[in-house]
Amino acid sequence: MASSAGGGADIAIAIEGGDWPDEAALEKLVTAAARAVEVDLGEDFAERELSLLFTDDAEIGRLNADWRGKPKPTNVLSFPAASIPGMERPPLGDIAFGYGVVRREADEAGLTLGDHISHLFVHGLLHLLGHDHEVAAEAEAMERREVAILARLGIADPYAGSEPEPH
């Protein structure tokens, strides 16, 4: 497990399945993405904890079934931390990634795995911060924010040519 600190969230990384890049590469991707989110939102995540799980399709499918009632693999799941009374800098929460779905989506869209991981991390982190896409207006606003954050990272618009989809 890797942990990053300094100028951003304290990010713990666990790789428990799938053919993911090594922890150092993942840490570099998510640290840069977290800082881009901080800049975009004008928010500092210093001393806020965030745990990331990089796993395989079987485990992400189990998590998706247990927490969302959808018994199938998915790309990313976000689990906001419970509010802790009196805690000045509460944890951000947990984000889990499913390798098979993430790899397939990246390949189908012609994206590098790193760019797609960065996008899904930004998407998951925005969920932890209260952003959602349950209705069309929310989906459009969240996608615009993701695109702006990804542009800071030099990553092209992953939604180009598609309509925002609430879900």
- CA triplet 30, 32, 36: central angle to 5 degrees? 110
> Residues 139, 133: contact at Cβ < 8 Å?
yes
The boundaries of the domain holding residue 123 are: 2-152
In a domain, 167, yes or no: no
In a domain, 95, yes or no: yes
The string of pLDDT tens digits covering residues 79-105 is: 999 877 877 778 899 999 999 999 999
In a domain, 161, yes or no: no
- This prediction has a pTM of 0.89
DSSP string of 107-163, one letter each residue: HHHT--HHHHHHHHHHHHHHHHTT---SSHHHHHHHHHHHHHHHHHTT---TTTTS-
Query: What are the tokens at 61?
Result: 């499918």
The string of pLDDT tens digits covering residues 113-166 is: 999 999 999 999 999 998 887 778 888 899 999 999 999 999 999 988 665 455
Helix axes 57-68, 99-109, angle to 10 degrees: 110
CATH number, domain at 62? 3.40.390.30
